[in-house]
């Protein structure tokens, strides 16, 4: 099942690279079912993000709206995951240390990303998203081998 998911993500990434302006526009009504599916896949496999990216790409959001929506989504998803992990006793000192060590790098990369995205055309932004999806799918596929 994970291999199928990886192949789907890779196929969509290749498709969206060559078609950075989607021919189809998803309606807002698709947000709830795809959000549920992305959350379910994220809970099961730790990789719901590609579905959110695909949906937001099909919504044809501007890059700033895309980034803001994606960031808000991951904040809430992260809070729910933290609560779940805390509920089953998985948050230990070592995990908090990894979090604290990675936080400065995360903040620097967020800043750099905010500087870069404002200089990108819509097509280039979509191609970067496609590239990230391709890498995500490839990593997921390699994990299954």
pLDDT at 39 over 70: yes
pTM summary value: 0.67
Tokens of 50: 């590609």
For the cut 80, the answer to whether the pLDDT of residue 26 exceeds it is no
Residue 108 has pLDDT above 90, yes or no: yes
If you average pLDDT over residues 114-132, what whole number do you get? 83
pLDDT tens readout for residues 76-92 = 888 888 888 888 888 88
Average pLDDT score, the chain: 83
pLDDT at residue 24 greater than cutoff 80: no
Q: How far apart are CA 58 and CA 60, in angstroms?
A: 5
Q: Give the ranges where the chain is alpha helix by DSSP (H).
A: 2-18, 31-45, 49-58, 63-87, 93-117, 122-144
Contacts within 8 Å (CB) and 24+ apart, 85-88: none
Phi first, then psi, for residue 54 (nearest 5°) are -60, -45
Contact 121, 64 (CB under 8 A): no
pLDDT of the residue at 106: 87
Write a three-state SS string for 11-25: HHHHHHHHCCCCCCC
- Token readout for 67 is 């980034």
Residue in 140, 142, 144 with CA at minimum distance from that of residue 46: 140
96: CB partners within 8 A, 6+ apart = none
């Amino acid at each position: 099942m994970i291999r199928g998911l990886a192949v789907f993500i890779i196929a969509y990434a290749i498709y969206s690279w060559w078609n950075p302006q989607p021919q189809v526009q998803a309606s807002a009504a698709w947000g709830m079912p795809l959000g549920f599916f992305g959350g379910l896949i994220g809970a099961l496999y730790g990789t719901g993000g590609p579905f959110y990216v695909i949906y937001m790409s099909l919504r044809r959001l501007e890059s700033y709206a895309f980034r803001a929506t994606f960031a808000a989504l991951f904040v809430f998803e992260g809070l729910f995951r933290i609560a779940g992990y805390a509920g089953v006793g998985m948050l230990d000192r070592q995990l908090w240390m990894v979090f604290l060590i990675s936080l400065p790098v995360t903040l620097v990369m967020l800043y750099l990303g905010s500087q870069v995205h404002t200089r990108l055309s819509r097509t280039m932004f979509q191609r970067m998203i496609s590239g990230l999806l391709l890498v995500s799918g490839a990593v997921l596929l390699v994990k299954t081998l």
